[in-house]
Amino acid sequence: MLQTASFDGEIGSPIQNSNPVLSIEEGRDYILDNDTQLPLDLEKVLGTGYTSIVEKVRHRNSKKAFAKKRLPFLGPFLQTQTEEQFSNEVKVIRKLASHPHIIRVFATYITKSEFGMILEPVAQTNLGDFLEHYKKSMHRGASTATHTLERSFGCLANGLSYMQQKSIWHNDIRPPNILVCGASVIYADFGGATVGNTASESTTEERPDFLIGTYSPPEVFSHGKKSDAGDVFSLGCVFVEILSALCSTITYDQSQPFKDIIEKVHKDLCSASLPSKLSSLPNFIIPMTLLDGSKRAKADQVSSGICANADLCCKLCGSSREAKDSQEA
């Protein structure tokens, strides 16, 4: 029996629908016998995670491409955890739906064996792979790829500022969780995200071990504390990696967590010779990556400062900064 849930911004109580043929509607949540009832054809697997598989699929009628994120059931106990992760991720992404640099949930489904999200847009790659390819390229210069990376500073800062305005912490900001779609960068993988009561609230709830790594702030290693400042640190580390790809004068030990090398990175940033359009970035990256979380820059300050340079953000992020400035004037 096919059922659908009416859209209310979160997964709601399903209402019965006896039509076995689906034409997927945006904002709907479907309960299915199996995913073959979805009018989606698999094109390729885009990636696999700890609990999920992401595929590129295409709608049979509209021919529109989507990403389908599948979370298979892995036993009774893990099924409960997976359901909680699924529900939380859908809720978080829908809360952030209006931002151009955050992935969107088109629809969701549940079968007897898995939870699933139908997402858009579909990425060509993720930022980690994009950077690796870029660094190996012999033709950087004023390429489209270079402009994409230059604009990513402001667009990612603007996206993080928007998350924190909505009291959401991503908790796992790193290049593989940032998609590159055309010339745009998109935050994705909100499976470990949390929603706070206020943007400055923090909690001592521990992160899962798989969310602690190269880009994690030092406070997470010591006591698992999550906060808005933690996301700022992680994004600052991503900025170091992007800047290193754009400027050969910026180097760092990639085998170490950023928390262990960041003070040396700060010294190198202070003395580095950078192109004029990128010369202001150390003034943002260093305050973002201070070891003391209470002294780190705020996401909205970083976003406003970087997006003041039209070369470092897209037009949408630049115009949102101008609108904010006019409201505060």
Q: Provide the annotated binding site for ATP.
A: 69
CB atoms within 10 A of CB 116: 24
Length of the chain: 329
Which residue matches tokens 């002294």? 295
CA distance 134 to 128: 10
8-state DSSP, 121: S
Instruction: For residue 303, report the phi and psi dihedrals to the nearest 5 degrees.
Output: -60, -50
Cα distances (Å, whole numbers) of residue 203 to 159, 169, 197, 208, 224: 22, 11, 11, 14, 9
Q: Tell me, rounded to whole angstroms, the distance of Cα 283 from its chain centroid.
A: 23
Residue 220 forms beta bridges with which residues? none
For residues 68 and 40, is the Cβ–Cβ distance under 8 A?
Answer: yes
**Enclosing H/E stretch for 239:** helix 228-246
CA distance 63 to 57: 9
Give the number of C-alpha atoms closer than 13 A to the C-alpha of residue 258, restricted to the C-beta side. 29
Question: Which of 176, 186, 284 shows the shortest CA–CA distance to 232?
Answer: 284
Binding-site annotation, residues: 69
CA distance 202 to 165: 15
Locate all alpha helices (DSSP H) within 53-122, ordered by sequence: 76-95
